[in-house]
Chain A
Amino acid sequence: MAVLRKDINELLTQTGPGTPMGELFRQYWIPALLAEELPEDDCPPVRVKLLSERMVAFRDSEGRYGLIDEFCAHRGASLWFGRNEGSGLRCPYHGWKYDVTGQCIEVPSEADNSSFCQNVQLTSYPLVKIGDVLWTHMGDAATRPPLPEFEWVHVPAEQTYTSKRWQQCNWLQAFEGGIDSSHVTFLHSGGLKTDPLFKGAKGNEYNLNDTKPFFEVADSVGGLFVGARRNAEEGQYYWRITPWVMPAFTMVPPRGDHPVHGHFWVPIDDENCWTYSFDYHPVRALTETERQAMIDGHGVHSKNIPGTYRPMANMDNDYLIDREAQKRGETYSGVAGIAMQDASLQESMGPIVDRSKERLVPADSGIIKARQKLRKAAIALRDEGVTPPGVDPAHQRVRSAAVVLPQAESFLDSCRDAVKVTPGVAQTSV
């Protein structure tokens, strides 16, 4: 019996219009682009491809954001070439002009009082700025959920930082790294000692001293909690608790008083995704040193080619692998940086990994369970119209946590408050 049948792999990895997983993603608000990509009114438009749909985003003269079909309704020219002016985006080919809702507001070749343009409407989706991110909902407007309430985009601006990078593989294999705590001991072991956003925490010692963690995987209302347990002092366990909120939001358990990080994995098409990576601190501003480290690609962030969101270390240069640094013990895989250590291996699997060829072990139970939840939710939505977990903003108010507990205690019972967002209260961390 195959680990994961090919038809289920296709169901989980295909997110275009009309696919079950594509419809699932269209139930949620998802990151469309960073706010920095549309920095001012009437700035240049930006091409955006999400869930296999090509669109263009722009910010009009009144500061309104729009996300509309990339191609002009007239002859199909890309509106990325459009002139963003006078409260609309004008196709430079023949001058057709659209507002942020995709409504055509001007067709110069028609008579001055013609009503023709009223009947021309491009597909459009809402685009809303929350925190450093512009969010969209690409599903039915009639069932549009309330805006997202993830803590990282709701703390004051000085407490948060978000970056993004293009990852050249399907969203699922990128996301699965986010709930796979067992790889940290190996792949990221160098970073625990040297990365400015990781090092120095007491919890790192437990990580490095116990390379065979045990796992507990438990349902949450919005997805899962994955607890990774390592030996601590006599009679105690060190727990790292990773929340997953469906479909694609994960958080990394914190280390000491370092900012808390996490990811949102967004399908571009079936062979590419955006990895949004964030750091925030619930109760204090990020220091200049911390923010600069994030900009420099430390922690979960990447150093990107200037003017792009493609990492400087990428598959075309073998991720700048440094075998000498590997031998010296500075990095485990030879690739520098947490983000590219993950991406290099996930991309090496190919654009869409064939999961029927896997040999999973019990430690992969979080991944097994997540696939099961995604598949069930997609089918329940398709067949019965059931709203999936994670749509309700209440499901999004979660945190990761790192704690030391007596061996007999359940992490779920002991950390009920720690894994909930409590404004004004710091993360629970070791």
Chain B
Amino acid sequence: MTTASMHLSESARAASASESRFRIDVPIAPARAARVVALDDRAASVVRRLAQRSWAHARFYTSREVRDGDGLLHELDGPTVPLDEVLAGTDVVVVLATEDGGRAAAAAIGRICGRRGITTAGVILGDGFEADDAVAALRPYARVLLLSADEGDAFELLTALRV
């Protein structure tokens, strides 16, 4: 049996243009501690450009040696950091690839993140064909794969995630 009221309801009023003005308006804090990892040289160039923008908690890396369970990432200014340390306190990892060179690292990062409950997203730049293997390696783990010819999509994704 329907329990609906037939008079003008609270929700109807709340959705009106005039009532929208009374929504609680408080600043939203950046929500995610993101790690952004380039899997190959061209992706590293993109990540360097991204890193120059203003971010709250995002940190940027290039991959060096990543095997299952351990490995090293490069910070953009040079020093290497254990993957384990990079992932501590992280809730989202965004990996960037432009070709297949980083497929082993892609799979390893995906596996480790999967085990730790860290959401993984992949941005594959280019026509897609050059990075087939990297895509296949990421597919089981990445909650989202964005296949794009537009470098700006990586920026848009990070911006939308409030990192």
> A-side interface residues toward B, CB under 8 Å?
1, 3-4, 168, 214-219, 229, 271, 315-324, 347-351, 354, 357-365, 368-369, 371-372, 376, 407-408, 410, 412
Contact = CB atoms under 8 A, between A and B. Distances in A.
Interface string B139-155: 11011111111101100
28 contacts: A1-B30, A168-B15, A216-B145, A218-B128, A218-B147, A218-B148, A219-B147, A219-B148, A316-B8, A318-B12, A322-B1, A322-B2, A322-B4, A348-B15, A351-B20, A354-B23, A359-B31, A365-B121, A365-B146, A365-B157, A369-B153, A372-B153, A372-B156, A376-B152, A407-B139, A408-B136, A410-B135, A412-B128
Contacts of B30: 1
B75 interface: no
A349 to B, nearest CB: 7
Interface string B1-36: 111111011011011110110010000101100000
Contacts of B17: 271, 350-351
A265 to B, nearest CB: 18
A328 to B, nearest CB: 11
A45 to B, nearest CB: 29
A359 B156 contact: no
A358 B3 CA distance: 32
A323 B2 CA distance: 8
Nearest to B127: A219
B52 interface: no
Contact of A1 (B14, B146, B162): B162
B4 A369 contact: no
B132 interface: yes
Contacts of B152: 372, 376
Nearest to B142: A214
Listed residue (A168, A323, A361) with the most chain B CB atoms within 10 angstroms of its CB: A361
Interface string B96-114: 0000000000000000000
Interface of B: 1-6, 8-9, 11-12, 14-17, 19-20, 23, 28, 30-31, 54-56, 92, 94, 119, 121, 128, 132, 135-136, 139-140, 142-150, 152-153, 156-157, 159-162
A350 B160 CA distance: 21
Nearest to A5: B159
B131 to A, nearest CB: 11
A362 B12 CA distance: 31
Given A324-B1, A350-B17, A362-B121, A412 B147 contact: yes
A215 B31 contact: no
A74 B113 CA distance: 70
A319 B3 CA distance: 11
A219 B149 contact: yes
Nearest to A270: B17
Contact of A322 (B3, B23, B144, B147): B3
Q: A-B pairs with the 7 shortest C-beta distances? A: A362-B121, A218-B147, A350-B20, A362-B144, A315-B12, A360-B160, A216-B145
Given A316-B8, A348-B11, A349-B15, A214 B143 contact: yes
B161 to A, nearest CB: 6
A124 B31 CA distance: 50
A95 B147 CA distance: 60
Listed residue (A350, A363, A365) with the most chain B CB atoms within 10 angstroms of its CB: A365
Contacts of B31: 359
B157 A368 contact: yes
A368 B156 contact: yes
